[in-house]
Structure 1
Amino acid sequence: MAVVPISLDALSTHTPEQARQWCAQLEAGDILYFPSTPVPLPHDEIDFLLGQQQTDSSLHKNIAYKPNLDKLSGVDTSTADAQAVKRLQEVMRQYSQRVTGFLTQFLSPYQSRWQLDYASFRPQEEEGRDLPLRRRNDLLHTDAFPTRPTYGARILRFFNNIHPSRTRDWVVSDPFAAIVRQFVPQQIAPRKDGPLGRSAKVLGRAIGLGAAIPSLKRSPYDDFMMRFHNFLKENSRFQAECPKYSFHFPPGSSWMVYTDTVPHAVLAGQYALEQTFLVKPEALVRPEISPLRLLEEIAESRLV
């Protein structure tokens, strides 16, 4: 795992082969880092966002924008007037469209074969947040969505630090492929002819989670990834002893990473933007190293 710096000059001269290499590096667990963001925001939009502050961080971790519905959620309506909410929606819409336009070109091998997921604005200071354990950002975890199963699509996230003076401080650990077998021994995999439900249950038991009871929406893959997310946050030994690599993303920078692959935590920072994409399995340039393929190899069974 590495952080790969990319200059704006490199963007203007990149070839299809280079774009494919960038996709492969992301899929393997590297973080692509832009010291100067390729998706700049107008000053008036940044000034507006910096003026926003949720009054109670226990209510929502962030403000979400749902591009497919053109709607906001997580807004503190007790303090925001209608004009401010409308302005926030416009800013988030523009941000989502800019990031999507950039990545359509930058990650051209994917040919936009992704599902556009939520964009978010994170106005809270991350250091010292008082949140329930499973919602804490400062504990290492891989991403999974409790109510939005991906069915094997990978979770790609693009971040912007828009704070005028402070870094956004991350710590990451070794990628999914390097850690998952520590908790899912191959000898506990289900029979090859077992049903998908049994695959999920055995994978859950293998990391000490008890029998899995998937929701009606989740595939066995999604059920395992959700439980693995919770397991890492709740595993104090993993949090204390796993390899850790610290990164401090400066103001005005951007970075992107598959957060279902790279265990990550945010230790400090305020005012960040983010756009999520769910990249379909058939779009990947290295599908054999995806979490889905890895888990299916361990389970010896299809999980989606």
Structure 2
Amino acid sequence: MPEAPALSRAAAPSISAATGNLDLIRPQPYTTWAPQVTAEERATLRRELEQGAVLYFPSLKFHFEPGEERFLDARYSDGKSKNINLRAGDTAVRGAQGTQQDLSDLYKLIRRYADSSESLIRTLFPEYIPHMTRAGTSLRPSEIAGRPVSWRKDDTRLHVDSFPSNPMLGKRLLRVFHNIDPASPRVWRVGEPFGDFAQKFVPKTHGMWPGQAALMKLLHITKRKRSEYDHRMLQLHDLAKADLDYQRDVPQQEFHFPPGSTWIVFSDQLLHAAMRGRAMMEQTIYLEPQAISDHTHSPEAVLARMLGRPMLLS
């Protein structure tokens, strides 16, 4: 793919006049990380999430322990990574700098958020429990706006998440976000449903040539053999970010997540862009595809229908 043009200030995405009826934010009343939820409420939450909505919890706050507020300062980031992160199973954070006490306290903070997020998912979606794996947890202490990055890494452009070196082989990306900044909102744009997005860009994608997946694994370009699903999803990520007309004109909705709010999305399905915000926490959970109750809207199902074959064969 040719190098994409930069998003100049004049070309920066804005809310199109054609976006009036797009409403993907679903407010929820729950205020604890293990709320009391009826079976009917769980069914509604699961249906809306799997159809591509944002489950938004305006009053679900993650609380600092005394002294942890200091980690809102970006000086605790090592400057090499965009976030301070904790991999599942690790006993120390990555991407951070500070004293041994600082690093220990950061670990406790991020681990507590990981535990809280998993508790929330287990409570709201008990059907997911046999199929879910906790992945990375991160604290992102730096302002998004104005960060100098390449167009592929520019998350202020609408995109669906896909990993170049870490093929998911159909596992879904379920994410729990929290605006931990005490003063400023986290500003997102969300775009049209995945099916509409795919209709525009899937015809521009291409499959892998014979032996490509094995060669990429052999050369350590990928951690495992890439499926056609991963191959197409990565192209969709890049095609959307590279198309400035699409970024400007696609039906989209801007939403300000206030301080202390939480939201849950399938980030491989929801077109999203983070526009402004200084401090956020995020938990990723890998979900096996069989956990999804309604496959009509899942990215793999959409691609399989359009291309006329299963996407998860390598």
Letter paired with 2:45 = W
**SS of aligned partner of 2:75:** coil
1:15 to 38, 42, 49: 38
Report the equivalent of 1:126: 144
Shift in Å, 1:179: 1.0
Q: 1:266 to 1:13 in 2, by over 3 A?
A: same
Shift in Å, 1:234: 1.3
Report the equivalent of 1:47: 69
| Structure 2 residue 49 is matched with structure 1 residue 26 | yes
Report the equivalent of 2:82: 61
1:91 to 103, 109, 128: 109
Structure 2: unaligned runs, 5 residues or longer: 1-22, 218-223
Q: 1:183-194 maps to which residues of 2 (within 5 A)?
A: 183-185=201-203
Q: 1:105 to 1:33 in 2, by over 3 A?
A: same
* 1:203-226 deviation digits (Å, cap 9, x = unpaired): xxxxxxxx9954332111111111
CA contact (8 A) 2:92 2:104 kept: no
Mapped partners of 1:222, 1:9: distance in 2: 36
Shift in Å, 1:55: 6.2
TM-score (structure 2 length as normaliser): 0.82
Report the equivalent of 2:270: 262
| Structure 2 residue 122 is matched with structure 1 residue 104 | yes
Mapped partners of 2:178, 2:31: distance in 1: 19
Letter paired with 1:53 = R
* 1:101-160 deviation digits (Å, cap 9, x = unpaired): 121111122234212111111000011111111111211110012222211111111111
Report the equivalent of 1:193: none
Mapped partners of 2:198, 2:285: distance in 1: 23
Q: 1:240 to 1:154 in 2, by over 3 A?
A: same
Mapped partners of 1:56, 1:136: distance in 2: 20
Mapped partners of 2:46, 2:68: distance in 1: 29
Q: 1:170 to 1:90 in 2, by over 3 A?
A: same
Report the equivalent of 1:251: 259
Q: 1:243 to 1:212 in 2, by over 3 A?
A: farther
- Count of aligned residue pairs for this structure pair: 280
1:297 to 276, 299, 305: 305
Mapped partners of 1:139, 1:113: distance in 2: 31
Q: 1:5 to 1:212 in 2, by over 3 A?
A: farther
Letter paired with 1:65 = L
Mapped partners of 1:19, 1:45: distance in 2: 36
Report the equivalent of 2:26: 4
Structure 1: unaligned runs, 5 residues or longer: 190-198, 203-210
1:81 to 90, 95, 99: 99
TM-score (structure 1 length as normaliser): 0.84
% of aligned pairs identical? 29
Shift in Å, 1:70: 3.4
Mapped partners of 1:104, 1:242: distance in 2: 34
CA contact (8 A) 1:68 1:116 kept: no
